[in-house]
Structure 1
């Protein structure tokens, strides 16, 4: 059976223009403070809410997540300065000049919706673990391990965004623990495989678009993420849209002090469609600039996805997917989206 990154393209409503703006009260918000407390009952309650949101929505927001607000503020200020630079300056750290997929992605640099022949109308810069050039995984040929392709301007960009990435890794570990509880897994099932995770940070800028936009050329086309889950910080400007299981697009409101979290393909494979990866897109019709910080979370590169998680398959409900690995799946999908192959 096809992986969900193919299946998502035929989901009902995937190319519809109509969207319904949600009120903040309509968004499932999980109080993540429970996962920083010793109380098992509080953790189980929050995990049950998370499970419900994953089954019914495919996404949720987290509040009381303990992420330092100052780290977000510094990252936001630095990214604004970077995207304001002349394009020639930004192109000096182009991602195609990096052997391990790091650096600047210009407007029309990717095509996220593989079912349409278009180009996305946004800019980004991508980074991950800032590892040395002699990292053993990089020497083995693993594309997503190695040094970052940092811009030289603004001078505080490396410090500000590197700190954000590192703090997100700690948040990601907590989210992994929450998923262990939500799926009734043994403690450490995800976190023990999160020691050198495939995690990428995509720093995004979305200029305003016209109301008569072409659906093939939007901020970022409809797609599912490739990893287990994704965190999204938004600067207060709406634009992120999620597709419901019945084919309705919903515009998610930015809620101060929260991160949006959506599910990726690997979570869908592992749960045998109990948790579906979330088809989403960005269309910025606000009339002002939109910025976001998007961090993708897989597990370690060589972790095998060889069958369903306990409780996610059984008689009459066989596993629907072929075995893969975390790194193999992510590398295959990134190659299809960006302007290289292999």
Structure 2
């Protein structure tokens, strides 16, 4: 069943007393779960999964390794900053001037690469690689199960049409740790009608991949945007996972699913916030286009076909907040 978790919300644009985050219990009847995933994906592009089957020890082992990594002295962290887009980073998000109050560690999900890079990440690389590879395997299976349930709910012919993309041997999935240390100084709050760009943890964006599996420790900070533009906080739940629909899945479903826009505010608590994201992505040469079953004369294709590699290049060359799918939308002669 979908359980709405009430939260109080107040923004400078809109106010709401109680807004719920969908929570899907994976232990229920399969057809019921499938329908609930469809509802949440259409209405929110975001939901929590409970009774997910991932052992608590798998989660805690990787979080402990992540905490241990970010607790290391700054010179040691720089050793995990190889050339290219993977490795350690701080404040600078991408190559386009986007900044946030965080530091992060980005890794591919290939188990052999994890083993090799663990030598620069941890003083006990076998512990780190074992924890990371065990976690990646578990959340990839969780992501695949959610995608299969979604395909069943959409009544498409091949229920593995989505999950086989992230299970492909050449998949482009990544694992990311975000660490939001407490703000060192207390800055004056902005005026009522002003934004404070200096206190952004991670700016507004949608995930370009197919699906994101996210979890964090028990420190708040994540917010999602509703279709009407209202930003609502997501209550942290360290024992559960949140599912975020990505741009690629929005295209594959011909716009039926929403790729939710989300952000993280700067950490004003006294405790560090750490979140771990598995970004499930297809191979670079995979073609992304609406499934034929979801296209009809009355519901024409909303997007032109493109490869994941092309879209990834467009996504990472744009600034946070840009609408990257505009370039790939189909045009219609009226």
Give structure 2 stretches of 5+ with no counterpart: 1-10, 191-195, 321-334
**Once the two structures are superposed, what CA deviation does each residue of 1:115-152 show, in whole Å capped at 9, x if it has no partner?**
xx54111111111233668xxxxxxxxxxx99647534
Q: Does 1:220 pair with 2:195? A: no
Confirm or deny: 8 A CA contact 1:231 1:295 kept in the other structure. yes
Q: Does 1:289 pair with 2:261? A: no
**Once the two structures are superposed, what CA deviation does each residue of 1:206-234 show, in whole Å capped at 9, x if it has no partner?**
12345637236511100010111101111
Structure 2 residue corresponding to 1:276, chosen from 258, 274, 290 = 258
SS at match of 2:224: strand
Query: Partner of 2:100 in structure 1?
Result: 120
Q: Distance in 2 between matches of 1:282 and 1:323?
A: 31
Q: 1:198 to 1:20 in 2, by over 3 A?
A: farther
SS at match of 2:65: helix
Q: Does 1:44 pair with 2:28? A: no
Deviation of the 1:111 alpha carbon: 5.0
Q: Does 1:198 pair with 2:172? A: yes
Query: Partner of 2:110 in structure 1?
Result: 130
Q: Does 1:175 pair with 2:149? A: no
Within 5 Å, give how 1:1-342 maps onto structure 2: 26-34=20-28, 42-95=29-82, 97-98=83-84, 101-106=85-90, 108-110=91-93, 118-130=98-110, 148=117, 151-155=120-124, 156-185=127-156, 186-193=158-165, 194-196=167-169, 197-209=171-183, 210=186, 212=189, 214-215=196-197, 218-283=200-265, 284-305=267-288, 307-336=289-318
Q: 1:110 to 1:20 in 2, by over 3 A?
A: farther
Taking structure 2 as the reference length, the TM-score comes to 0.79
User: CA-atom RMSD, angstroms?
Assistant: 2.8
Of 151-160 and 119-128, the range deviating more from structure 2: 151-160
Deviation of the 1:158 alpha carbon: 2.5
Taking structure 1 as the reference length, the TM-score comes to 0.77
User: Which structure has more RCO (C-alpha within 8 Å, separation ≥ 6)?
Assistant: 1
**Once the two structures are superposed, what CA deviation does each residue of 1:39-96 show, in whole Å capped at 9, x if it has no partner?**
xxx211101011111111110000111111101111111111110111111111114x
Work out the number of aligned pairs and report it. Answer: 296
Higher strand proportion (structure 1 or 2): 2
